[in-house]
DNA sequence: CGTCTATTTGAATGTACTCAAAAGCGGTGG
DNA sequence: CCACCGCTTTTGAGTACATTCAAATAGACG
């Protein structure tokens, strides 16, 4: 089992001693999720915090009208959880599904709480995580308010280069909040204007 | 000076001793902002974290096209800051402006850091704050993806009852990401269908 | 009272969606 | 290795939701 990725992820924000690293690792469980399988289904309680070690997950939901939307892609080196469900032990609104074969390290709620008690530094790590998450979501809201569909698409490509190669257009459209047909039109427009 | 509101706000997440309360209060500065005055202008560094004691602020920005958008209203009992600017001492993207005459308690960055060092419990408070903020923003993104303008307006009314009475339609439109003219049409539509 | 801004109203326009059909692509089984 | 099936992507026509612009009306404030 290779813990390099997750340890270096954490080390960007806090410095751990070897003993702390060992303790942290002892709380992790490794899991493989096959393509299209669910890590969490809508309505289930999210009992783990997940770190994506390889592959890619989508975080999404189905609205009143029956339309599925994606609110986030979680690639390797990303943490992901349905926070509201995890913190408050309530049924999840979002689902987590593997887009590719994916491996994760998961931490149960009780181990998560234990970790924060035993190593208060993790409170700092958590803080940085949610603060950065907040800043990123605020930017996304700002872009939703100000940008046209085409501009959102260009921003997406700039922010996640190469992700287009791994993920279907349909999912990207669903993340951007536009119809797949319209995304197809936008792509064609760009392709022709560049040639 | 009445500290009841801010102390009870904090006490919802962490329990403080009398000494801790006194220490916390000693770090606060009180400030009155007249209607339409700025607490923070775009490009300035956000050097304080603010707690709104009375009144109402708007958090907004001006995009490339010169359009102003609002990303958040901060009412009494809300904390507000340009987090990215405050944490990383970089020029702010957002501005903070008083919609009504507003009073705030502000904490400087250095006092904020001191507070977290001296009373580690505040790390827990911060955590709760940004986790809740994250959950709320995620919901807003979800609503932007799934709802029509009319539905967004109804959700806004349900979430912030009475706020319509204090804030101009133009600002609400700017928060919802729709044109003020179209909001006027929506309101008329509802008014006539209810009569 | 006059000025300035917010709101309403309507017409013309545009952006993006829906629906339907065709074409492309990838995986699976024979 | 090819043929078929299912899903994704493309394409186009018609439509809906929301915007822009302009002008009229209403409100707020000194």
The answer to whether some atom of strand D lies closer than 7 Å to the beta carbon of A163 is no
Indicate whether B186 belongs to any domain: no
CA–CA dist B40, B57 (Å, integer): 11
| Burial grade of B13 (CB within 10 A; 0-12, 13-18, 19 or more) | middle
A161 shares its domain with A123: no
Indicate whether B191 belongs to any domain: no
Indicate whether B21 belongs to any domain: yes
Range of the domain at A186: 147-195
Indicate whether B71 belongs to any domain: yes
A46 shares its domain with A117: yes
Show the low-confidence residues of chain A (pLDDT under 70): 193-195
CA–CA dist B43, B45 (Å, integer): 7
Tokens of B53: 């004691």
pLDDT at res. A191:
78
The answer to whether some atom of strand D lies closer than 7 Å to the beta carbon of A184 is yes
The answer to whether some atom of strand C lies closer than 7 Å to the beta carbon of A172 is no
pLDDT at res. B28:
98
Provide the pLDDT confidence category of residue B164 given band limits of 50, 70 and 90: very high
A131 shares its domain with A155: no
A133 shares its domain with A172: no
CA B40 to chain centre: 13
pLDDT at res. B195:
58
pLDDT at res. A194:
60
Indicate whether B46 belongs to any domain: yes
A25 shares its domain with A47: yes
Handedness of CA B65, B68, B72, B74 (dihedral sign): positive
Mean pLDDT of B112-127: 96
Q: Which of B81, B96, B22, B15 is nearest to B48 (CA)?
A: B81
pLDDT digits (tens, 9 = 90+) for A2-54: 999 999 999 999 999 999 999 999 999 999 999 999 999 999 999 999 999 99
Q: Average pLDDT over chain B, rounded to whole?
A: 96
Indicate whether B99 belongs to any domain: yes
Residues near A64 by Cβ (< 8 Å), separated by ≥ 6? B146
**pTM as predicted:** 0.96
A167 shares its domain with A81: no
Tokens of A16: 């751990």
A131 shares its domain with A56: yes
Mean pLDDT of B38-43: 96
CA–CA dist B194, B62 (Å, integer): 36
Residues 157-176 of B with CB under 7 A from strand C: 168-170
Q: Which of A138, A155, A175 is the last residue of a domain?
A: A138
CA–CA dist B143, A107 (Å, integer): 29
A151 shares its domain with A132: no
A134 shares its domain with A153: no
Provide the pLDDT confidence category of residue B39 given band limits of 50, 70 and 90: very high
Strand D bases near protein CB (under 7 Å) are 8-13, 17-22
Determine whether the interchain pair B134/A134 forms a contact, defined as Cβ–Cβ distance below 8 Å. Answer: yes
A57 shares its domain with A153: no
Determine whether the interchain pair B87/A134 forms a contact, defined as Cβ–Cβ distance below 8 Å. Answer: no
Examine the pLDDT at B194 and tell me if it is beyond 70: no
pLDDT at res. A161:
87
- How many independent structural domains does chain B possess? 1
Domain containing residue B57: CATH number: 2.60.120.10
Provide the pLDDT confidence category of residue B184 given band limits of 50, 70 and 90: very high
A188 shares its domain with A107: no
């Amino acid at each position: 089992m290779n813990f390099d990725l997750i340890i270096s992820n954490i080390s960007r924000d806090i410095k751990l001693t070897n003993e702390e690293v060992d303790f942290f690792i002892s709380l992790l469980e490794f899991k493989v999720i096959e393509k299209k399988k669910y890590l969490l289904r809508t309505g289930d309680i999210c009992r783990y915090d997940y770190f994506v070690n390889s592959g890619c997950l989508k975080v999404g939901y189905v609205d009143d009208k029956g339309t599925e939307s994606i609110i986030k892609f979680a690639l390797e080196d990303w943490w992901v959880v349905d926070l509201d469900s995890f913190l408050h032990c309530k049924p999840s609104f979002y689902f987590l599904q593997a887009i590719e074969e994916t491996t994760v390290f998961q931490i149960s709620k009780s181990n998560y709480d234990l970790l924060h008690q035993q190593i208060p530094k993790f409170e700092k790590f958590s803080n940085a995580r949610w603060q950065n998450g907040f800043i990123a979501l605020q930017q996304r809201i700002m872009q939703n308010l100000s940008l046209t569909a085409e501009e959102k698409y260009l921003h997406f490509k700039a922010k996640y280069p190469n992700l287009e190669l791994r993920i279907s257009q349909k999912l990207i459209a669903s993340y951007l909040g536009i119809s797949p047909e319209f995304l197809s039109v936008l792509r064609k427009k760009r392709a022709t204007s560049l040639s």
